[in-house]
Structure 1
Amino acid sequence: MNAVTGLTTRAPRLRYDVQGPRERLREGGPAHPTFVLAHALGCDLTMWDALAHHLAEHGRVVRYNQRGHGGSEAPIGVYTLAELADDASRLIDELAQGPVVWVGLSMGGMVGQELALRHPGKVRALVLANTTSGYPQEAQAGWSQRIASIAQGGLVAIVDGALQRWFHAGFHARQPQTVAHWRARVLSCDAAGYIACCQAIAGVDTTDRLPGIAVPALVIAGALDQGTPPEMARVIAQGIPGARLVVLPEASHLSVLEQPLAFRSAVDDWLQHALPA
């Protein structure tokens, strides 16, 4: 299936990929849903390759690289999730046809929450995977330590610890080439942009505002996820009215890579109820 790639026109310019049908109904509404897929910290849009190919059979799929990742611009300074959500809003204005189904994992899920709250007209439904609506104080201290480690030793100082959280030991043993691929992806990030994204993530604080999200939501957790454990997913699912929670077994933080078929099945089943024909 052919894909269109490019950079958004407004700063910060973000690298994107669009695939899938573009037809519209005569009445002017979209004939197919548009999905926007947002990646985790240290990753890029290729983490969605398999799911994007599947979803493109049913609608348009927009993937993009967030600030400091995969060739997207990395403005100097501290980032906030509000700014990252505004980036997403501009991307939707430029590339999408009407409100979108947002699929975000980890940082992408945090951006999705903020997007739905700041720009509710841009979001039709939400998939929030392996993410959180807030960190306890000790976890925020961990983010500060990670930032200090990068400032002193570069991304190589934190990459192996990240990979231990991303994938469980069995996956490391079975798919060392995949782990090596994502290690290289982390190291290819803009270090200053990565730090700025860490600062945005450390400040995530949507828990008390979650009841204001008024679209269907699927919350996915990995049973083995140490970074955003299922307890954090339950907080989100309980906060968003009518949200569905799915906990994937044998999945750590990057559940869409460890359990791609189970992740896809959870999304497909939910979409049948969230977006009735």
Structure 2
Amino acid sequence: MSVADLHHELSLPTAGTPSGLTVMLSHALGCDLRMWDGLTTHLLAQGHRVLRYDQRGHGRSPAPPGPYTMAELADDAAALIEHLGIGPVVWVGLSMGGMIGQELALRHPRRVRALVLANTTAGYPAEAQAGWAQRIEGIRRGGLEGIVDGALQRWFHEGFRAVHPATVALWRERVLACDPSGYIACCEAISQIDTTRRLPAIDVPTLVIAGALDVGTPPAMAERIAQAIPGARLVVLPDASHLSVLEQPAVFAATLDAWLARLPRG
């Protein structure tokens, strides 16, 4: 697949003194770059340049034949950074985006200035891998309609779903808009992620964010990542499950702001 086919948006700061940082945002499985709408507006107002993109099989990007590997998804990101001539970037990835970020930092270290790994994991136990296989089979039998409601229950906790039904309905529509074959191919990549033993080789500032209520990638998974990457910082957001940037946008943004302010410039 040509990197030129990846749908992306590169936005310049709208206010403040330019920070000199390019923040690259990478979305979760079943989402698209619109997952980052609120955070993008916030980061641009803080003086950051922002790049966000639709991963293969999602949004307006094509879905080449699968299965995919996490290495291929990381190579997509590296090729886009090179194509635009904007690296190194501050990578902010959530769930699948965080998995891609780990591989990107390991495979293409010169492309990454710093890492934010939110609601993600470095590997799944055997029983969770079996769950991914069941999800894939469910999509093959009944399409995305058969798995979307289970995904939404993991993404948003019960209290959020009760108060924000329109947001939940919006993201249900966006999951169903995904290419089923691309979704399956990404599931295959996710199910095989195994970066734990390689994480100590990551040599950039790293922030790990977890949601206290996240059952898909619980805080224990985030703790293992933070313990393995030298100097990594862990923050657990209260009242947040899997899509923490949507459930707790202000707290997520404030956490990111405080961490970005400590990054060396130049």
TM-score normalised by structure 2 residue count: 0.96
Match of 1:55 in 2: 43
Rounded to whole Å, the distance in 1 between the matches of 2:114 and 2:84 is: 17
Equivalents in 2 of 1:12, 1:195: separation in Å?
23
CA contact (8 A) 2:5 2:62 kept: yes
Equivalent positions of 1:1-277 (< 5 A) are 10-11=2-3, 13-21=5-13, 32-57=20-45, 58-275=47-264
Q: For each residue in 1:159-215, what CA deviation from the matched residue of structure 2 results, as whole angstroms up to 9, or x when unmatched?
A: 000000000000000000000000000000000000000000001100000000000
> What is the percentage of aligned positions where both structures have the same residue?
66
Matched length? 262
Structure 1 CA distance, aligned partners of 2:39 and 2:66? Answer: 33
> Equivalent residue of 1:56, what SS?
helix
2:264, 2:142 → 1: CA distance?
Answer: 47
Inter-CA distance 158–89: structure 2 relative to 1 (3 Å threshold): same
> Counterpart of 1:253 in 2: which secondary structure?
coil
* Structure 2 Cα separation of the partners of residues 118 and 206 of structure 1: 11
Residue identity matched to 2:32:
D
> What SS does the aligned partner of 2:178 have?
coil
- Are the counterparts in 2 of residues 12 and 67 from structure 1 also a CA contact under 8 Å? no
Aligned partners of 1:219 and 1:236 also within 8 Å: yes
Distance 2:182 2:264 in 1: 36
Consecutive unaligned residues in structure 1, runs of 5 or more:
1-8, 23-29
CA–CA separation in structure 2 for the residues paired with 1:51 and 1:77 = 31
Q: Distance in 1 between matches of 2:19 and 2:2?
A: 27
Q: CA RMSD in A?
A: 1.5
Q: Which amino acid aligns with 1:225?
A: D
For residue 95 of structure 1, report the CA deviation from its aligned partner. 2.1
Instruction: Give the SS at the match of 2:236.
Output: strand
Task: Check the 8 A contact 1:12/1:72 in 2, yes or no.
Answer: no
1:106, 1:130 within 8 Å by CA — same for their partners in 2? yes
Query: Which residue is equivalent to 1:26?
Result: none
In structure 2, how many angstroms separate the alpha carbons of the residues matched to 1:98 and 1:263? Answer: 24
Mapped to 2, the partners of 1:104 and 1:142 lie a distance apart of 23
Deviations 1:96-124 (A, max 9, x none): 42300000000000000000000000000
What is the rounded CA distance, in whole Å, between the counterparts of 1:10 and 1:167 in structure 2?
34
**Alpha carbons 2:3, 2:83 under 8 Å: kept:** no
